[in-house]
Structure 1
Amino acid sequence: MVSAFSGLRDDHADAREDRRLRDAACLELEQRLNRLVPPGATTTPQGRAVAVRDENAATRIYVNQVGDDRAVDGWRQLLDARTSYAEALDAQVKSRTPAFFVAPRTGDGRAVTDELDRFSPAPCAGPIRRLATPDL
């Protein structure tokens, strides 16, 4: 009985430590993003494309630390959509066709960012909102 109680206490301590590490990783992501120029603060499509790619690079560091497969899949979908947007911005210069960010959706039509909000720690809410709107 004492052994089972001790094991349960260890599990709770491990869960708290995991949450603390995930929260810290989200805060580090936000700090990295805050050091970058937001895409919406740029004045040219090329500048916006560079800013989107810079934010994506900062986000990939976080994604490589995430242990939850559902969350990783959502983050990758968001990064893929942002990469497509950056490529469209590059093409806009030559083709004069406007680039639009298309937010990724799940198979049943929900926004991937809504799913990320559910599966990610609370400190990730700010970075998720920022990354979901690369034209702001």
Structure 2
Amino acid sequence: MELQVQVLLWFEAGHDVLWIPIVEVGDEPDAIVRAQAEADALGKPHLLQSIEEFARIPDGVRGWVFPAHLDDTYAVALRIGSEVTFGTLRHPVTGEAISFRTDTESAVGFAPPPLAAQPQSTV
């Protein structure tokens, strides 16, 4: 199913949808400090209650998108001007799909807290 259709169906089903900004860490000596500053500037995740609310996510910033009751996603949204596009991310070396829960941070010295086990939804 096309990602845009999937996102529309989440809203149609009455789900609140999270948009969580993706902050990339480069390989420069101060990359972690710069990434932390960018994350602070972007703020907290956005809770969206309709497809129209994608208009308020930061311009030019990719973010994970998923129903608030789930804990993982492969869907990514990016707003440039008035256009929002949906896609997925792939590891630049392996080509494997990257999800919200894929560990991409331990290699730069930051590990997110472990996720508590939760029942999964099939939405």
| TM-score between the two structures when normalised by the length of structure 1 | 0.32
| Structure with the higher strand share, 1 or 2 | 2
Higher relative contact order structure (alpha carbons within 8 Å, sequence separation ≥ 6)? 1
| TM-score between the two structures when normalised by the length of structure 2 | 0.35
